Amino acid sequence: MSLLSQLEKINLGSVLGEADNARYVTSKILHLVQSQEKTRKEMTSKGSTGIEVILSTLENTKDPQTMLNILNILIEVISVGGGRKANILVAKGGTQILLQLLLTASKDSPPNEELMVLLHTLLAKIGPKDKKIGMKARINGALNISLNLVKQNLQNHRLILPCLQVLRVYSTSSVNAVSLGKNGVVELMFKIIGPFSKKNTSLMKVALDTLAALLKSKTNARRAVDRGYVQVLLTIYVDWHRHDSRHRYMLIRKGVLQCIKSVTNIKLGRKAFIDANGMKILYNTSQECLAVRTLDPLVNTSSLIMRKCFPKNRLPLPTIKSAFHFQLPVIPASGPVAQLYNLPPDVDDVVDESDDNDDAETESEIETENDDKDQHFKNDDIETDINKLKPRQELGRPLEELKMYERFFPELSEKFQECDLVSKEPKPFIPDANLSGPIVVPTAGEEYSAETKQSTKGVALKESNPVLTEEYNRRPAFLELPKKDSVKDSSLHQQNDQRNLSPSCQCLNQEIVKGLDRMSLQTSAKNDQYYSTACVITKESKTSLTTLACSNPCEHVSPCGSSLFEGSSVHLGKLCCTGVDSEEEDSRSSSSGEQVMLEVSDVSPVHDCDLYIEMVKTTKSIPEYSEVAYPDYFGHIPPPFKEPILERLYGVQRTKISQDIERLIHQNDIIDRVVYDLDNLSCLVPEEADVLKFNSKFESGNLRKVIQIRKNEYDLILNSDINSNHYHQWFYFEVSGMKTGIGYRFNIINCEKSNSQFNYGMQPLMYSVQEALNSRPCWTRVGTDICYYKNHFSRSSIAAGGQKGKSYYTITFTVTFQHKDDVCYFAYHYPYTYSTLKMHLQKLESMHNPQQIYFRQDVLCETLAGNSCPLVTITAMPESNYYEHICQFRNRPYVFLSARVHPGETNASWVMKGTLEYLMSNNPSAQCLRESYIFKIIPMLNPDGVINGNHRCSLSGEDLNRQWQNPNPDLHPTIYHAKGLLQYLAAIKRLPLVYCDYHGHSRKKNVFMYGCSIKETMWHTNVNAAACDLMEDPCYRVLPKILSQTAPAFCMGSCSFVVEKSKESTARVVVWREIGVQRSYTMESTLCGCDQGKYKGLQIGTRELEEMGAKFCVGLLRLKRMSSPLEYSLPSSLLDIENELMESSCKVTSPTTYVLDEDEPRFLEEVDYSAESNDDQDTELADNVGDYEATNQEDGLSDSDSARILLS
């Protein structure tokens, strides 16, 4: 430190013989820095002025030796300390001083070589840490100094090595790269890197790194193409590939590939690459590298280049619009649907019209002065206007108009004078010490047997012959009966007073309420039965089922478009859906010690094949489907085994891309034969035994076209949503004619999302009819070699929302079938059709106890296609028609639930099924829940989309969850009237306590919620001052917190309460902002699986989804108790949860969401298998001779990078 003090005095000019003294002092410091780590640490420690003194001396001295000493000192200091010490140097203004010194030194003739070497070495080390070095060098005029030094000293490798490193740093700025390119830097680099020689390989590596950075500029890339350098690079690569037999020069080989990768970013570069036979060269060399794992970076980079250069193919379709057409009653004035209708009829909407003009020079550098840019991820989608955020309760429609909804709320005026209620007299609320035993409630079996005797509705029971027929291979779907007009469910809400049922559980005493969640209603073996109108299945154990079937073979009748079914001759084996087994139920303790045990299948409305057919008859589809899919007819029971998230094999994406590239290289091997085509109804079904047969002409089916590529490989194209030209994700189709022991590869080639959980362990679902007839009617996760990646089919700008040059993505999976000539079905997720919903609702109604449960089913409205949208009301019947009990009945708070606004999110329907079955169950907690709330439920907001196999839209071609602000009664009737119901409740001062819309999530794991909070939204912006003063009730966090403690699939960490601009017209935000419901949520369920809790590492199934629906109900019961503890005299420990919630409410638990065209933030995974990359991260130019860091990846941030930015 005394030496530094001396140096400081020298700088102040107070010491005689400055030059000699400075030279002496700096040489002593250099010696200490080189020999003592302690000195190096002291110089950069906090509070030390060592670096300032050194830099000040460097700036002021004229003595060459002192300069050399100081440069050596700085190199020593930052070489050991790495990035942090380089940052210190940058922060102290070191870059500017060094550039000024470089400018001064360059004026010497000849320049001091040693000084230039050290200056460039130091600049190369600190350059990557200074984001503004490009601009500083340009302003200083230092750019061409380094370039001229290289030009004049090509043989002086010691000098030009650090100069090239500095040029590489400068070139990260596109403006600098263009400027250097004009001065001949590209030509200069090619002089250094060619021809092949193993001398000076370190110099060559740096030259390649520099060239790769320079060629990222489109101007330089075009210059390289014009001079024929693409062919040169390929020749150099092949030379190194042949001569580097021991793989010692992998970094040089990768450097050449990086240059090719940069130059092929432009279309001219890709064309030159193809013309130079680059595809074949890189394909052959990468195949030779596969055997050596250490060469994987070369294989991966080659794969990226080949995929990028693969000539874009037109999607083999006549139009990207849906194969089905529905004429809208009203055409929207603007938006994508209006554009679709206004397209001239002769426009080819499939072709990608982007051309080489896209490469016009548009480069200009924007030097960002904002240092926070890289520190914090800024989401412009977050609403920052506090006035827009504040809920502003407004009816939006005149009160007189809203009175039309009064008929949907008869419970508010019903007097129950005629009803056979449990008790006519009010009972005092007296605790009874003897009431500690189980509560007697009717079982499903008793209810059903009582009802079937007296009910005039439903289908009569038939005898089943327990003989399994051999003729099971044909579908029941050609089961054709005369098509009838749509039948309105006019009497669905009527109650049958005549039924002989057990008394309901009456007013619960405090002791029972306290122990309610500890109870599990477990019926004895004789009652543990599930009833169907066609058969009985006795649960012997968890997995054993006795299947009964008819001996009459079903007749094969060819489909007829005008009539749906002929005759009731469907007598296939009947299989029933059991619900969630109690043995599999999760039991978790909350902080109060309550034990929750559910039996979701308590009154499971068993699957009824004949009733399903009856429901199908009244379902109206646009293609007028005449077939029924086996899985929907038979039903599904969860498999008895766990289905773990699939572990991704190393290199699978690379292998698939390689096989795709072989299509171009070995074109003669490609069959290219259309085997299924909805656009060409005359397309012949192949007769050959070894060609698979496909079908999707049934409810919710989606598969448009199939092309056989190789003997056992098929390209599949999905249908767009009706009145749309995109949203390809949902698939549901049938395959038959398979052989065993063969791996069939299926490629769905027109997906649009940039990534998918198929890259993270999700598998598609398969249903085998053979297995179903062998008592295993299950959808199971299948497929190997699964991945999702960008393909070579181009999306037109019409399909990509105006963006040019976009590609489609491929989901690929391989399946080996268990049974020869089976009939199998594949689906994106567990199908749940509109007809299934109608069947389930009818079964629920037929099985409930009308003395105990108030169940009403109304038709909210008709959809565009004329299908009814069911509205369900569930609560407990009043204890008597005594005035106090009627008052209690009418004054119960409302809970409003909806689901399936997006047809492809079938998991939402399975969660809703769990909710409905729990609410209708005999579980004492369910009875307590019914006595606490009135449930208004719209289980399917988009019946038309579900029926017709859409993924996201209704028949209007629009996302209904973006229409809540201004729904059109003609185009969006279900949303218009659902909002009307809520507006009516607001008008009569009966706001729901909770609103929840059930959704599915394709990019994240677990189940989680999105809610609305002004304060948390403001926390994610720079308007923190406003957020601090804001008072907000944190009640919106209570329900998600309860669910995180009780539902094993639920993850609080994934929840978000931020309001984004792009979500302003969603149900969640509109119900919160306009209707005024504070607890307004979207509940998202994963399509893949869980990465936490009890189900960690498992793919999600219907059992878990239904359980989530039931647990949601339990959460509502706890919410009720927490909001009114005195009513139940609950133990104080339960109330501690609320305090914990209030405390936790000041913490932001989730990162802000990205702006997407859907209700979901981008998923964040630890490993990046993005569809843009290969399995290994391409750490571009990381292994450099210099110490600088790699520049930004060309392919943008990986999702793991995004996570780091979001969470920083």
Which residue numbers are catalytic?
A: 1084
CA atoms within a 13 Å half-sphere pointing along the CA-CB vector of 58: 30
Give dist(CA 1072, CA 1010) in Å, integer. Answer: 12
CA nearest to 1105, candidates 647, 854, 779? 779
Tokens of 1023: 């308007």
Distance CA 578, CA 777 (A): 11
Angstrom distance (rounded) from CA 447 to CA 96: 86
Strand 779-781, strand 784-795: pairing: unpaired
How far apart are the C-alpha atoms of 901 and 1067, rounded to whole Å? 10
Report the run of H or E that residue 811 belongs to, with start and end: strand 806-816
**1036/1041 Cα distance (integer angstroms):** 9
- The alpha carbon of residue 367 and the mean position of all alpha carbons in its chain are separated, in whole angstroms, by 34
Structure tokens at 13: 């000019």
Q: Is 893 exposed, middle or buried (0-12, 13-18, 19+ CB in 10 A)?
A: middle
For residue 327, how many other CB atoms are within 10 A of its CB?
9
Cβ count near 1038 (within 10 Å): 21
3-state secondary structure of 895: strand
Amino acid code (one letter) for 1155: V
Helix (H, G, I), strand (E, B) or coil at 643: coil
- Three-state DSSP at 87 gives helix
Packing angle between helix 113-126 and helix 64-81, nearest 10 degrees? 30
Which runs of consecutive H residues, i.e. helices, occur in 848-966? 883-890, 906-919, 924-932, 943-947
Q: What is the identity of the amino acid at 1099?
A: Q
Q: How far apart are CA 422 and CA 503, in angstroms?
A: 6
- Checking 652-655 for CB contacts under 8 A at 24+ apart, the result is 652/785, 652/786, 652/787, 652/1175, 653/759, 653/787, 653/789, 653/1169, 653/1174, 653/1175, 654/299, 654/300, 654/303, 654/1174, 654/1175, 655/785
How many CB atoms are closer than 10 A to CB 158? 11
Catalogue the long-range contacts made by 889-892 (C-beta closer than 8 Å, 24 or more residues apart): 889/411, 889/416, 890/411, 890/412, 892/931, 892/932, 892/933, 892/934
Separation of alpha carbons 1064 and 1126, rounded Å? 38
Region for 572 from its dihedrals, namely left if φ exceeds 0, alpha if ψ lies in -120 to 50, beta otherwise:
beta
User: CA 858 to CA 838: how far, in whole Å?
Assistant: 12
- Omega of the bond prior to 64 within 30 degrees of 0, cis? no
CA dist list (Å): 291 to 288, 294, 295, 299, 652: 7, 9, 8, 10, 15
* Cα–Cα distance, 1007 to 1000 (Å, whole number): 9
